[in-house]
Amino acid sequence: MIKAILSRIAQTALVVFLLVTICFFIVHALPGNPFEGEKAVSDVVIQKMEESFGLDKSKPVQLLNYWSNLFLTGDMGMSMNFKGTPVSTILGQSFPISFQLGLVAMIFGCGIGMPLGIIAALYKNKFPDYLAMIVAMAGICLPAFVIGPLLQLFVAKPIPFLNIAGWMQPQDILLPALTLGFGVAAYIARLMRGGMLEVLGQDYIRTARAKGVTTSDIIFKHALRPAISPAITYLGPAFAAVMTGSFIVETIFQIPGMGQHFIDAVIAKDIFLILGLVLFYGILMGLANLAVDILLLFLNPRLRA
Amino acid sequence: MSDKIKSSSLWSDAWVRLRKNKLATASLFLVIFILIACFILRWFLPHDPNFANLEAKFQAPSFKHWLGTDQLGRDLLARILDGGQISLLVAILATIITVFTGVIYGSVAGYIGGWVQNFMMRIVDGLLALPFLVIVILMREMISVWVESGESFFTQSLRMDEDFVRRFANIIPLIFAIAAFGWLSMGRIVCTQAANLVQMEYIEAARSLGLTHWTIVKRHIIPNLLGTVIIYATLTVPSFILYEATLSFIGMGIEPPNSSWGMLIKEGANLIEIHPNLLIFPAIMFSLTLFGFNFLGDGLRDALDPKTAKD
């Protein structure tokens, strides 16, 4: 089991390494110059700036420098857009915000999706099932950029406790997280329904029923653990989707997270900030998938061989 | 001969099953209606989607402007159909590229099998582990550079209409950026399916009869994959519509003067407090399209593959 986890970590490291390397070359192929702002800048100044960021060297040397700085000193370079601010400082400010948002969104997603899926499976082809599945389909077909503004208009505006946008008070996390979590809830509900239906058709559930085990015991003690696997498998990609999906939600609710920085960095061709963010997103996705694999090993003893 | 009779009955059976599924049939008609509206009816509207009339801005729905007008006095219905054309075009073209790439890659990997299949699927796994939206944004920026450098060739050397070229110069990078990483799931699904098919006895029989690899792939593998591919392609279209809209919403997709559903929703979201119509009408059209394609895909899955159909 430890061997399996170690090989997953090695795989993740390889993927992140390749990701940053590919992005390095893509970023350099982008049009424009990071030092060209609204003001006209003379060629001499641009040349000096490029030298100070090490951009005058050949591409492979630059790439080598980037990796060696990262590994030896943990230095991710300086942002070019925010003059002289280290990328690590920007990430240090924005990452906790995006991460909190993602985490609360996942809690909303599981908290809404799982009960919905279980209820749908228990009342298969009856009214609660149809209702739950319509809600689930709505979550898939109504994307964050439709739900977000609607929540702002119909929920945040009438309730004085909630702000329409911004990131000042603790309750400001609720609506953005709900917006992000709704899509996750929809997928989890569908997966949970499928998983439950499959398990509820098994012989051992019929045996338990025949023995007179109560319905709630059948659900929580016998059915839930095997039925939850497909939903858990989805949590890894879901967390990744939530982290990148925060691009939209951060734009709508004006949250100073990683997504906003990424969009601004791409527009400004802020090379080191883009690379730093890509690195972070890659590591986050790898960790999410790893966590899911480990969770599945605990849930399903047969995988542990 | 017998082969022909069998395959046609498979498809007609599926059609009967699809027609019995009311939700899927309704979705099919909805999707066809939306396609006709955006690609044909759009040309017969009395209003030009780009005709601005500041005296008639923010009008409520009326007999003249069925869905009202926007902040520049443009007819909203015309804008929705025009935007839908771009949204659907991007999604459908990207899906076609995805299908070709995924089917070729997946069936080659699955047919050869062994370490080649393993290696090719490892690459897919690695690419699937990348943050999709992040890489699509970067890819689109990169492809835009190439497309822009080719733009003058079409306008000057081939003397094509400048507006037409510019319209396409904006959507092509988006299509290729989405397709560049969108084919991965298709490739994986096709590969699994092809690897299963190769082990079937009738493939072995075909081999022992001396058919070439190409004939086997053409006559046996691809026709048997067709059902899976159709189902998955139908489900890919709405996810690509969603990606296009997402990218346009954050300003990394379709750019003015082009419009798409993502752009319209973005503009509507900015004005939601004063004129919620401008968000709600495009959002309804957008969501109906996603509903239609998703339910149609689910229905096709049940119809074409009754073994795995949900009960």
> pLDDT tens digits, residue range B20-35?
888 888 999 999 999 9
Q: What does the pLDDT average to over A154-172?
A: 80
CB-count exposure of residue B208 (10 Å: 0-12, 13-18, 19+): exposed
Q: What does the pLDDT average to over B146-161?
A: 76
CA distance B203 to B195: 11
Are A97 and A175 contacting, i.e. CB atoms less than 8 angstroms apart? no
pTM value is: 0.85
pLDDT in tens, B202-244: 888 888 888 888 888 888 888 888 888 988 999 899 999 999 9
CA distance A286 to B123: 15
Is A146 close to B142, i.e. CB distance below 8 A? no
B49 at A interface, C-beta within 8 A: no
Q: What is the mean pLDDT of chain A?
A: 82
Q: What is the mean pLDDT of chain B?
A: 83
- Tokens (6 digits) for A179: 């917006």
Is A240 close to B131, i.e. CB distance below 8 A? yes
Are A116 and A274 contacting, i.e. CB atoms less than 8 angstroms apart? no
pLDDT at site A183: 87
Q: What does the pLDDT average to over B153-169?
A: 75
Nearest chain A CA: its distance from B142 CA (Å)? 5
Give the residue from B106, B102, B125 showing the smallest Cα distance to B197: B106
pLDDT in tens, A78-122: 777 776 788 888 888 888 888 889 999 999 999 999 999 999 998
Confidence band of B310 (pLDDT split at 50, 70, 90):
very low
Is B138 close to A266, i.e. CB distance below 8 A? yes
pLDDT at site B101: 93
Query: Does the ipTM surpass 0.85?
Result: no
Mutation target vs A (from B87, B123, B130; most A CBs, 10 A cutoff) = B130
Q: Residue A277: list chain B partners with CB under 8 A.
A: 134
pLDDT at site B236: 92
CA distance A243 to A17: 20
Best CATH choice for the domain A87-304 from the list 1.10.3720.10, 3.40.120.10, 3.40.50.2300, 3.40.50.800: 1.10.3720.10
CA distance B269 to B285: 15
Mutation target vs B (from A8, A20, A141, A154; most B CBs, 10 A cutoff) = A141
pLDDT in tens, B38-67: 888 888 877 777 777 777 777 777 777 677
Candidate from A29, A146, A262 with C-beta closest to B134: A262
Q: Residue B266: list chain A partners with CB under 8 A.
A: 145
DSSP-derived secondary structure for B168-231? HHHHHHHHHHHHHHHTHHHHHHHHHHHHHHHTSHHHHHHHHTT--HHHHIIIIIHHHHHHHHHH
Q: What does the pLDDT average to over B263-280?
A: 84
pLDDT at site B41: 83
Is A285 close to B129, i.e. CB distance below 8 A? yes
Q: Of the given ranges (A70-84, A117-131, A175-189, B203-217), which has the lowest mean pLDDT?
A: A70-84
Q: Residue B142: list chain A partners with CB under 8 A.
A: 26, 29-30
Q: Name the residue ranges covered by the structural domains of chain A.
A: 87-304
Report helix, strand or coil for B69.
strand
pLDDT at site A45: 74
Q: What does the pLDDT average to over B67-94?
A: 85
pLDDT at site A39: 61
Report whether pLDDT(B7) > 60: no
Is A145 close to B133, i.e. CB distance below 8 A? no
pLDDT at site A114: 92
Any residues with CB less than 8 A from the CB of A211 and at least 6 apart, and which?
Answer: none
pLDDT at site B289: 93
Any residues with CB less than 8 A from the CB of B123 and at least 6 apart, and which?
Answer: none
Confidence band of A13 (pLDDT split at 50, 70, 90):
confident
Q: Is B158 left (phi over 0), alpha (psi -120 to 50) or beta?
A: alpha
Is A140 close to B294, i.e. CB distance below 8 A? yes
Q: What does the pLDDT average to over A212-229?
A: 85
Domains and CATH numbers, chain B: 24-38+76-304 (1.10.3720.10)
Report whether pLDDT(B5) > 80: no
Q: Of the given ranges (B67-76, B141-150, B176-185, B292-301), which has the lowest mean pLDDT?
A: B67-76
